[in-house]
Amino acid sequence: MALAEMLDPISIVIELIIAIIGCYAGFKLKIKSGYLFALTFLLFAVFDILTIMGYPADTLAIINIISSLSALAGICLLVKEVKGA
């Protein structure tokens, strides 16, 4: 078994855990950027799953750009929150 085949499921689980923690940060801790990081890592997990399933590169590229934009918005919001505190 190739190393990537063993690590991909572990990576997906970690990404989903981060998405759950991001939702917790957004909902319970009232950190707005938590939702964006949750979306980012949920999309990373979807990206990995679809890659394993053999989806076309165009579909994967769209998911990747959306997740990158979500991370960018999340970090901008986080900087704004910290700067304003």
Q: Which domain holds residue 34?
A: 3-84
More confident residue, 59 or 5: 59
Q: For residue 82, what pLDDT is reported?
A: 86
Distance separating alpha carbons of residues 72 and 37, to the nearest angstrom: 9
Q: Is the pLDDT of residue 2 over 70?
A: yes
Q: For residue 63, what pLDDT is reported?
A: 97
The string of pLDDT tens digits covering residues 7-54 is: 999 999 999 999 999 999 999 999 999 999 999 999 999 999 999 999
Q: For residue 43, what pLDDT is reported?
A: 97
Q: Is the pLDDT of residue 74 over 80?
A: yes
**Crossing angle, helix 33-53 and helix 3-27, to 10 degrees?**
160
Q: How many structural domains comprise the chain?
A: 1
Q: Where are the beta strands (DSSP E) in the chain?
A: none
